[in-house]
């Protein structure tokens, strides 16, 4: 089952005086997620963009474990952006850039990000628990951006709950999907096959499916 659907800061958890938010999901999933990312990033250098950084806790953890990588957090929600900035200041990690405001539903989001000082190309993009709590056009925008943003050796890592061949991988995910669609018909757990089609149109391809705790997966996409 996915980790959150409530906006951070409105989920009843503590907000620090400096604006730092805390996500319960972070404490459950940051280590297994990093174990996957580390296998790809070890020994490499370059820029990594996190889209939908939420509280900012993940990017701080990742940056501490990869001093040779420059991390670019981002989000659309203003309170999330403030939390990311606060976590960045708290961590004092020199390899985390200020958070970027990115709207993946905007077809021009890559150019706008770069005009705001973002990286011209990236070694990897990491996106966790975003596309199922957003309209389908957000997934479309995310994949479309990979065509111009990913390096030739780059990867897109997509974390969350997914359907396989139209079927849920767990009963809890099916229940979660129903609750999402009842709250917003444009939301819902996405099917891997549909995402693979989006990837194909962007010149990338699904290269690996990694089983994760709590019925989640990481989908890895690489240049075709």
Show the tokens assigned to 111. 């150019």
Residue 143 in any domain: the answer is yes
Which residue in 69, 32, 59 sits closest to 218, CA to CA? 32
Report the SS3 class of residue 190.
strand
Whole-number pLDDT of residue 19: 86
pLDDT one-digit tens code per residue, 1-15:
344 445 666 666 778
Residue 17 in any domain: the answer is no
Residue 221 in any domain: the answer is no
d(CA 224, CA 216): 24
Name the E strands within the chain. Answer: 46-51, 69-75, 100-101, 122-128, 150-160, 162-164, 167-168, 190-191, 204-212, 216-223
Whole-number pLDDT of residue 15: 82
Q: Give the total number of structural domains in the chain.
A: 1
Show the tokens assigned to 57. 């806790």
What's this model's pTM, rounded to 2 decimal places?
0.94
pLDDT one-digit tens code per residue, 32-85:
999 999 999 999 999 999 999 999 999 999 999 999 999 999 999 999 999 999
Whole-number pLDDT of residue 135: 95
Output the domain CATH number for residue 62. Answer: 3.40.50.150
pLDDT one-digit tens code per residue, 165-214:
999 999 999 999 999 999 999 999 999 999 999 999 999 999 999 999 99
Residue 134 in any domain: the answer is yes
Residue 16 in any domain: the answer is no
Report the SS3 class of residue 153.
strand
Residue 208 in any domain: the answer is yes
Whole-number pLDDT of residue 14: 77
Residue 223 in any domain: the answer is no
Residue 67 in any domain: the answer is yes
pLDDT one-digit tens code per residue, 90-120:
999 999 999 999 999 999 999 999 999 999 9
Whole-number pLDDT of residue 206: 98
d(CA 49, CA 59): 9
75 is in which domain, residue-wise? Answer: 24-216
Largest Cα span, the chain: 46
Is 90 exceeded by the pLDDT of residue 22? yes
Is 70 exceeded by the pLDDT of residue 87? yes
Show the tokens assigned to 90. 């708290």
165-186 burial, b at 16+ Cβ within 10 Å, e below that, comes to eeebbeeebbebbeebeeeeee
> Residue 194's Cα: distance from chain center in Å?
18
Show the tokens assigned to 50. 């996190």
């Amino acid at each position: 089952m996915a980790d959150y659907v409530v906006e951070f800061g409105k989920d009843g958890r503590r907000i620090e005086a400096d604006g730092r938010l805390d996500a319960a999901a972070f404490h459950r999933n940051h280590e297994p997620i990093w174990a996957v990312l580390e296998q790809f990033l070890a020994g490499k250098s370059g820029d990594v963009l996190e889209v939908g950084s939420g509280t900012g806790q993940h990017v701080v953890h990742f940056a501490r474990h990869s001093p040779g990588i420059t991390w670019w957090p981002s989000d659309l929600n203003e309170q999330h952006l403030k939390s990311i900035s606060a976590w960045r200041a708290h961590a004092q990690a020199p390899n985390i850039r200020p958070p970027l405001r990115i709207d993946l539903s905007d077809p021009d989001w890559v150019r706008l990000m770069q005009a705001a000082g973002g990286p011209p190309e990236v070694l990897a993009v990491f996106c966790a628990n975003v596309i199922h709590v957003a309209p389908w056009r957000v997934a479309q925008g995310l994949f479309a951006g990979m065509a111009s943003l990913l390096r030739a050796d780059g990867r897109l890592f997509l974390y969350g709950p997914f359907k396989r061949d139209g079927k849920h991988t767990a009963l809890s995910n099916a229940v979660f999907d129903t609750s999402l669609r009842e709250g917003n018909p444009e939301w819902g757990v996405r099917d891997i096959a549909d995402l693979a089609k989006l990837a194909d149109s962007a010149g990338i391809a699904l290269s690996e499916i990694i089983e994760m705790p709590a019925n989640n997966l990481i989908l890895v996409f690489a240049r075709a």
